[in-house]
Chains A and B, each alone.
Chain A
Amino acid sequence: MAIKLPIYMDNHATTPVDPRVLDAMLPYFTEKFGNSASRNHEFGWVAEEAVENARGQIAKLINATPKEIIFTSGATESTNLAIKGAAEMYREKGNHIITQVTEHKATLDTCKRLEKYGYEVTYLPVQKDGRINLDELRKAITPKTILISIMYANNEIGVVQPIAEIGKIAKEKGIFFHVDGVQAVGKIPVDVQKDGIDLMSISGHKIYGPKGIGALYVRRKNPRVQLAAIIDGGGHERGMRSGTLNVTGIVGLGKACEICQNEMAAESEKLRKLRERLTERIMSRLDETFINGSMEHRLPHNINISFAFVEGESLLMGINDIAVSSGSACTSATLEPSYVLKALGVGEDLAHTSIRFGIGRFNTAEEVDYVADRVVETVQRLRELSPLYEMAKEGVDVSKMTWQTAAEH
């Protein structure tokens, strides 16, 4: 089978819309265009029915009830609503929030803003494998703690946190538990009952749905969670999120969840095999390569590898017919290497050499082989160019050298 270039293997950033999702959405742009809040005519009823159907599809995937699903513009908004909404609603109960250092910026920056308003935030460190230590979580809890916010799985290294254990601790202490479920929902089994989750952010475009649609799961009993809205208006979504509903997006998100529900078991197995094939084909042919993060607790479609002595951006430039991401500083606006890898204790030198592969529903074994071959040949070529590789081969311990500009930072 001929390979079509470029190859997309950056499925943690976004995913293409599944054609079945698009088919489900299309009628709601044209003949079924109604406003789901129009209560007095057929157009509104049709739209409302579609929205309620989608609510059911999403709820089913995570073992929630349809009424517990609130639609938003995306997971960033969901996370803002969950954290700010709970912080405001329960201000009298306390002002302390616990999160951890490798969270997505949607969580970290929301917490930082709350700190400006007098909230206190504990940012738990992670261990070398990328997971938090549960004892440290227990120790961080105070009588003022109102919320714990921990991601299900990390977007760079795919590491899955001990969510059910955290949920148990939160429940024991009567603290609400928000989970950024963006990378995990639809990919691995997520069950808000078993996992003890009270609030969870979900994104459409990470699960082969459209961009611009997300959801927040808000628990209605045991315990009932209330949120202060951050967008006020017509009182949609039980007053938690005003604004005319994005009916097409909602239909797409619902359909995307239904497909994930039906196909997850087979799909995750397929992706795991492709991931193993990719990892094996790369790492067996190159020395000095390192996997970042736990392999045991990891999303099936993620692998993050550091290629020592080869700077990440130059590697991406060499494999420009393949779409992947790098933790290199040069690929970010800030010129800082990945804060996630840093938190794992990966040295900055190795953080600069990391590549994230996110295998997706539409990748094939042929594509995986092509990607592996291109990565191997490019790393080999760039190592021929690398003074660090040459020094390492001569037996110089590069990490112990004193570098001219190192002191300037």
Chain B
Amino acid sequence: MAYSDKVIEHYNNPRNVGSLDKKDPNVGTGLVGAPECGDVMKLQMKVNPDTRIIEEAKFKTFGCGSAIASSSLATEWVKGKTVEEALAIKNTDIVRELSLPPVKIHCSVLAEDAIKAALSDWKKKQGDAEAKPAEPATAASH
């Protein structure tokens, strides 16, 4: 299978790899996917509670090159955005940016799920009234 140049670039130089303190009240953690499906993404964001701006984002991913690239790109995109702006990121945006083939679309879905799950965790920690439990955007069809 041929990978797009952007996928290869993210795979070789993943952005924002690592972990944030998951006990920090300003850090939201999203863990999505399953090992038996071949991909698991952990996405963490540190949000400024006053400005609701995402100041830091870190990821770790178990998965194919496209999954690694999708989560690396997601951390790049959410940084500096507000919570609301980050929640507006769609998996199709990731598909377009990375030129993912149809069999790899589930990687982008997982990345969108990870953003939503992390921000939902953050909202829960903040006692945010609108906080809902993390729900996958769509069933990732593996």
Contact = CB atoms under 8 A, between A and B. Distances in A.
Interface in B59-74: 60-65, 67-68
B140 A403 contact: no
Interface of A: 309-311, 313-314, 317-318, 328-331, 335, 337, 347-349, 352, 384-390, 398-399, 403-406, 408-409
Given A328-B64, A387-B41, A352 B3 contact: no
A318 to B, nearest CB: 8
A405 B34 contact: yes
A311 B36 contact: no
B48 interface: no
A352 B38 contact: yes
A386 B38 contact: no
A323 B37 CA distance: 24
B101 to A, nearest CB: 11
Contacts of A311: 38-39, 62-64, 67
A328 B37 CA distance: 10
Given A349-B36, A403-B34, A404-B134, A314 B63 contact: yes
Contacts of A317: 3, 8, 11, 64-65
Nearest to A310: B62
Contact of B142 (A309, A349, A388, A409): A409
A335 B8 CA distance: 21
- Main secondary structure on chain B at its contact with chain A? mixed
Interface residues of B, number: 35
Given A328-B38, A405-B32, A408-B139, A386 B11 contact: no
Given A387-B62, A405-B136, A314 B34 contact: no
Given A390-B19, A405-B139, A385 B60 contact: yes
Q: Which of B1, B3, B60, B139 has its CB near the most chain A CB atoms (within 10 A)?
A: B60
Contacts of B19: 390
Interface in B106-136: 113, 117, 134, 136
A394 to B, nearest CB: 10
Given A390-B60, A409-B142, A347 B36 contact: yes
Nearest to A330: B64
Contacts of B61: 385-387
